[in-house]
């Protein structure tokens, strides 16, 4: 009996060492410096990078070795603007009446997996039905495969504004949605809506500061919150540990959002030079989403793809969007990286890199935006966006040098998230 107890104590005191993974990397793209580093080994232990070693290291007999000697290795990409619950098509407006939450939830798992396999290991979901919160929990539990999600839950709108959930419905279905449903019409409503998002389990607040393209409402420009309402949202959000993202196409609503204290402007299609200067002063970041502007303008040319009121807005905004992003970059407006995936197919997020390059933004800078900058915007700058010791093991690989062929980013061949290999 004494020998048995000694053996048990030995087992309890000295557990078997966990297996480490050694990624032998031919080239690593350093997102901080924009330089390529040759022949390194990333040692991954659990969900973190344990060390970065010179040369190709094999580890011990119990360790896993992955050969990426002919690949270019980067941190997992971060997309600051997706809608993971949906993917737009001509039936989208009808499906609001035919789909149940469970239908949305099941389909969202497909979009989540597709996003991760494209190399986007972290996303910020800026508005859906609330299924996105449940999806985030399921991914965190490991029951669903997908990226790390930071979600706004239901976006905040004004009555009739972009993100009013009853826009376009017949009168007896419109009702009068309020703060619980994400509709704000006063300072008190604004505070309550933020608190409701906190109660629901959101990570970030998203407001629709102007009209939008895909909502069934006539204007894509007009400001839709008062400055007082925006300030009530941002001050309440700060109390609850939220940052605030503001959808905005029209310049006046954008200006009010920046003055009201939002952290990011999403889209920014008709931003004036004055507002660009204001964003610089307030250190408010622009999330470009050129991909969405390109997609909606193209689809609007197909008869019947959009309702007439939507097609008109898409044809107006699409052509100007990329040009505005180019001006903002030249002006020195701080930029993150986001796509608005869901407006176009999930998993195609990396096309944004090419559009940014067309706008005059060097690939080194857009890669930094999609990693380091976005990680800082998520308050995860010490854990995400770089391949360094102690950082989370979110690692992707492509076949070629993206600074020489941006298209290679659209074909990610290796994906690790939180130390788990999902694609090899």
Q: Which residue has the higher pLDDT, 317 or 117?
A: 117
pLDDT tens digits, one per residue of 111-139? 999 999 999 999 999 999 889 999 999 99
Predicted local distance difference test score (pLDDT) of residue 10: 40
Burial class of residue 317 (count of CB atoms within 10 Å of its CB; 0-12, 13-18, 19+): buried
pLDDT (average), residues 19-36: 97
CB-CB contact of 43 with 53 (8 Å): yes
CB-CB contact of 155 with 126 (8 Å): yes
In DSSP terms, 75 is beta-bridged to: 395
Percent of the chain beyond pLDDT 70?
A: 95
Predicted local distance difference test score (pLDDT) of residue 14: 43
* Dihedral of alpha carbons 158, 159, 161, 166, sign: positive
pLDDT (average), residues 66-72: 98
CB-CB contact of 279 with 329 (8 Å): no
Q: What is the dihedral angle through the alpha carbons of 20, 383, 240, 125, rounded to the nearest 10 degrees?
A: -80
pLDDT tens digits, one per residue of 241-293? 999 999 999 999 999 999 999 999 999 999 999 999 999 999 999 999 999 99
Report d(CA 303, CA 189) in Å as an integer.
39
CB-CB contact of 282 with 258 (8 Å): yes
Counting every residue, how long is the chain?
424
179-183, 215-219, 325-329, 361-365: the lowest-pLDDT one: 215-219
Predicted local distance difference test score (pLDDT) of residue 302: 87
* Statement: the pTM of the whole predicted model exceeds 0.85: yes
Tokens of 48: 């973190």
Mean per-residue pLDDT over the chain, rounded:
92
- What domains can you pick out in the chain, each with its CATH number? 16-76+386-423 (2.30.40.10), 77-377 (3.20.20.140)
Predicted local distance difference test score (pLDDT) of residue 274: 98
CB-CB contact of 158 with 179 (8 Å): no
Residue 259's closest CA among 220, 229, 289?
229
Report d(CA 90, CA 95) in Å as an integer.
10
3-state secondary structure 119-139: CEEEEEECCCCCHHHHHHHHH
Q: What is the dihedral angle through the alpha carbons of 157, 163, 167, 173, rounded to the nearest 10 degrees?
A: -80
In DSSP terms, 398 is beta-bridged to: 72
CB-CB contact of 44 with 419 (8 Å): yes
Q: Does the structure show a pLDDT above 50 at 230?
A: yes
Q: Does the structure show a pLDDT above 70 at 53?
A: yes
Predicted local distance difference test score (pLDDT) of residue 18: 59
Predicted local distance difference test score (pLDDT) of residue 299: 87
Render the burial of 69-89: b for 16+ CB within 10 Å, e for the rest: eebbbbbbbbbbbbbbbbbbe
pLDDT (average), residues 3-25: 60
pLDDT tens digits, one per residue of 152-201? 999 999 998 888 777 777 677 778 888 999 999 999 999 999 999 999 99
Distances (CA, A) of 35 to 27, 208, 364, 365, 413: 10, 38, 8, 11, 21
Report d(CA 277, CA 286) in Å as an integer.
12
């Amino acid at each position: 009996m004494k020998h048995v107890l000694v053996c048990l104590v030995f087992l309890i005191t000295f557990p078997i060492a966990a297996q480490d993974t050694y990624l032998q990397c031919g080239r690593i793209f350093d997102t901080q410096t924009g330089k390529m580093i040759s022949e390194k080994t990333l040692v991954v232990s659990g969900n973190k990078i344990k060390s970065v070693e010179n040369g190709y290291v094999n580890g011990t007999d119990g360790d896993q070795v992955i050969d990426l000697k002919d690949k270019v290795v980067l941190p997992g990409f971060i997309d600051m603007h997706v809608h993971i619950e949906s993917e737009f098509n001509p039936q989208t407006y009808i499906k609001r009446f035919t789909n149940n939450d469970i239908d949305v939830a099941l389909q969202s798992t497909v979009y989540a997996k597709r996003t991760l396999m494209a190399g986007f290991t972290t996303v910020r979901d800026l508005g859906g039905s609330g299924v996105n919160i449940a999806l985030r929990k399921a991914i965190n539990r490991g029951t669903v495969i997908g990226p790390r999600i930071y979600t706004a839950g239901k976006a905040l709108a004004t009555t009739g504004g972009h993100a009013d959930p009853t826009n376009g419905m017949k009168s007896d279905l419109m009702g009068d949605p309020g703060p619980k449903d994400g509709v704000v019409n006063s300072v008190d409503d604004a505070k309550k809506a933020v608190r409701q998002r906190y109660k629901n389990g959101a990570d970030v607040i998203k407001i629709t500061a102007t009209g939008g393209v895909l909502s069934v409402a006539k204007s894509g420009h007009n400001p839709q919150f008062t400055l007082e309402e925006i300030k009530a949202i941002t001050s309440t959000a700060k109390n609850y540990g939220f940052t605030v993202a503001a959808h905005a196409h029209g310049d006046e609503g954008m200006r009010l959002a920046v003055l009201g204290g939002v952290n990011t402007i999403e889209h920014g299609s008709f931003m004036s030079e004055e507002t660009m200067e204001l964003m610089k002063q307030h250190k408010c970041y622009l999330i470009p989403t050129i991909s969405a502007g390109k997609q909606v303008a193209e689809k609007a040319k197909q008869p019947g793809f959009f309702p007439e009121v939507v097609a008109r807005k898409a044809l107006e905004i699409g052509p100007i969007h990329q040009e505005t992003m180019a001006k903002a970059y030249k002006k020195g407006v701080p930029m993150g990286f986001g796509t608005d995936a869901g407006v176009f197919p999930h998993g195609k997020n990396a096309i944004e890199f090419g559009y940014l390059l067309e706008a005059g933004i060097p690939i080194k800078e857009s890669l930094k935006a999609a990693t380091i900058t976005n990680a800082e915007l998520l308050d995860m700058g010490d854990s995400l966006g770089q391949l360094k010791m102690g950082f989370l093991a979110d690692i992707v690989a492509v076949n070629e040098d993206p600074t020489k062929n941006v298209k290679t980013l659209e074909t990610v061949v290796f994906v690790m998230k939180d130390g788990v290999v999902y694609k090899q």
